[in-house]
Chain A
Amino acid sequence: MIGAISLYITWPWLPGTRGATPRTIIVYGFSILGETMNEAIFPEFQAQWQTRTGERVEFISSFAGSGTITNQIILGVPAEVAILSLELDALRLVEEKVLPGPTWHDLPHGGVLNRTPFIILVRPGNPKNITDFADLTQPGVGVVHPDPLTSGGAQWAILAEYGSVLQTSGDELLAYEQLLGIWQNVVAQAASARAARTQFENGFGDALITYEQEALRDQILGRLNAQIVYPHSTILSEHTVAVIEKNIKPQQRQLIEAFVEFLWSEAAQKIFAEYGFRSMDERINVTNPNFGVISAPFTVDDLGGWPQAKREIIETIWKQRVLQEIGQ
């Protein structure tokens, strides 16, 4: 019996059981990308590369909160391509000298792969009657929120909660009160947007603030046991691709470049749209009629770009004022 177990365990490494070792691409991505990449993007590129060169490519990947993977890359994981949920994490890679500079600006759309607005997910039938971010400040509403320490999505969510008032009214005090009100109702924090979604599905809270993509894909497939609420005004998150040059061996360069180029190809962008990510190219978004309408969308550029938004909104307002106020 022990022999049989040993054989099973070592099988893939026994001589003769393995074909030519395929070339690999190591991709680290933020949490909600996992399904789209594994199910569609990777296979599509594998097929394209095989027809073009006859070579087999294997993807080695890891998906976690954007902050988590950024920290892992800083500590030296061998990522060749990183897809981060926000430019801020890419800027941290520059700060820590992983990247020589903002190299992603040379990529299409300044390195932004795709985007998705932040929405509110509520229980079926919307029992708490939530129609906008303001309703999340009502007493008795439990909000599930990812943790801004490790999740990029959480930082986008904070900008959405604060910026939606600021953009429509221009009133900083009202914006602060909305952010505070929502955070007083946060009942659970998870390490990534994906993990927060899992918590919500496991029955925590009445509302989840998350990427539209998270909910849309399941809604299209008819397996969403929740309801999407589109806020009047919300932020469009923009997801940044960083190519980690220092981890790319010379013989890998061509392959990695081809993969990165592929990410912005029409084929790949259509896949992203099919999976609920909005393309930077509006013509492609028409292919998915399920995208909801947002009356007053805004981006991080409207808040002065990430460095300023991080400093003024996340550090000063959320961390120093909101967290103090709710006594965390």
Chain B
Amino acid sequence: MNGTENSIQKVNKKRPRSTGLVPLILLLGVLFPLLLMPLIAIFIFASRSGLDGFLSALSQADAQFALRFSFIIASVAALINGVLGTFTAYVLSKYRFRGNQALSVIVNLPVAIPTVVVGTSLLLLWGPIGLLGKYLDPLGIQPMFTPVGVLLAHLFVTFPYMYGAVRPVLDELETTYEEAAYTIGASRWQTFRFVLLPALTGGLFSGSLLTFAHSLGEFGATIMVSGNLRLRTQTAPLYIFAQFEAGNIEAANAVAAVLAITSFILFFVLLRITQRKTVQVT
């Protein structure tokens, strides 16, 4: 293959495997109370009233809506940021211009900004009293408190993940491949399509999954911009929060369990894919 796998996978590939029992026990000792026990608590509380209770909690119209809505928003966010993030990474990696580094830092900022601040800033921009919203509102355009507002928040919050997955691959990719393509008469698009894109597949895939997973769990920005309307703009995490606050712990945990399982499957797939690539290389 052509060196597309990122550095982490290279390390994996070279490290000899041994069954270190002591480190494993130590690791579990640390992880058990930190990660595993809280996750187990979700499932115990979700299943306290048996499978019937779990299923009836899940089959509530608003729970169903919240799950579907979250999956749709996450898919669309992954799709849009998949394209935008790749494009951003391509431009910032391949072109040298003044402000390149500043832009590279800015596109990573959403990782560090508290999501509640993201929500507030979107409201102060697009909301009815916001910078732009105040001119749009009289025209009847009001993106906040609608699914569009939720999507805008998720695009902002998840932007760095696609970019982060693709950029290192592009940086490592030697420009000679591209130059070779140009010398045999390939257009810029053809070069991208037949030289860069195949090399990027792994990055694109893991970037999309990361974006999807983060969007699925997004809470802080969403609660600010969605209006938290059940059957309209309430995502699964907001549903969980609302139900937990109202004391309906089973309803909250049933949906939480679904999200936890989904994330597990997502990351499991992610791991398998990156591993398979490594195996192919060796």
Contact = CB atoms under 8 A, between A and B. Distances in A.
Contacts of A11: 68
12 contacts: A9-B68, A9-B71, A62-B228, A64-B245, A72-B227, A74-B129, A76-B128, A76-B142, A191-B245, A194-B245, A195-B245, A198-B247
A58 B129 CA distance: 29
A9 B247 contact: no
Contacts, number: 68
Interface in B39-77: 65, 68, 71-72, 75
The 10 nearest A-B residue pairs measured at CB: A76-B128, A77-B227, A195-B245, A198-B247, A9-B71, A77-B145, A62-B228, A62-B229, A9-B68, A60-B232
Contacts of B145: 72, 76-78
Nearest to B247: A198
B245 A75 contact: no
Interface in B121-149: 123, 127-129, 133, 137, 142, 144-145
A60 B230 contact: yes
A62 B68 contact: no
Nearest to A96: B129
Contacts of B123: 75
Contacts of B68: 8-12
B35 interface: no
Contacts of B26: none
B194 interface: no
A76 B127 contact: yes
B246 interface: yes
A61 interface: yes
Interface in A1-45: 5, 8-12, 26, 31, 34-35
Given A63-B246, A195-B245, 11 more contacts: A11-B68, A61-B229, A63-B242, A64-B228, A72-B227, A75-B144, A76-B133, A76-B137, A76-B142, A78-B145, A191-B245
B247 A75 contact: no
Contact of B144 (A58, A74, A76): A76
B248 to A, nearest CB: 9
A191 B128 CA distance: 25
B231 interface: yes
A195 B247 CA distance: 7
Q: Which secondary structure characterizes the binding site on chain B?
A: loop
A179 B129 CA distance: 38
Nearest to A73: B227
Contacts of B227: 62, 72, 77-78
B23 to A, nearest CB: 36
Nearest to B126: A76
B127 A194 contact: no
A195 to B, nearest CB: 4
Contacts of A26: 229
Given A9-B72, A76-B129, A76-B142, A34 B246 contact: yes
A197 interface: yes
B177 interface: no
Max chain A C-beta neighbours (<10 A), residue from B75, B127, B133, B229? B229
Chain A interface size range:
20 to 34
A9 B74 CA distance: 11
A327 B145 CA distance: 38
Nearest to B234: A62
A111 B79 CA distance: 48
A302 interface: no
Interface in A183-207: 190-192, 194-195, 197-198, 201
B182 interface: no
Contacts of A75: 123, 127-129, 144
Nearest to A11: B68
A280 to B, nearest CB: 26
A265 B219 CA distance: 39
Nearest to A200: B247
A190 B227 CA distance: 20
A251 to B, nearest CB: 15
Contact of A194 (B128, B129, B234, B247): B247
Contacts of A8: 68
Contacts of A35: 246
Interface string B229-247: 1111010000000101111
Interface string A54-70: 00001011111000000
Contact of B230 (A10, A62, A191, A195): A62
A195 B229 CA distance: 18
Nearest to B228: A62
Contacts of B71: 5, 9
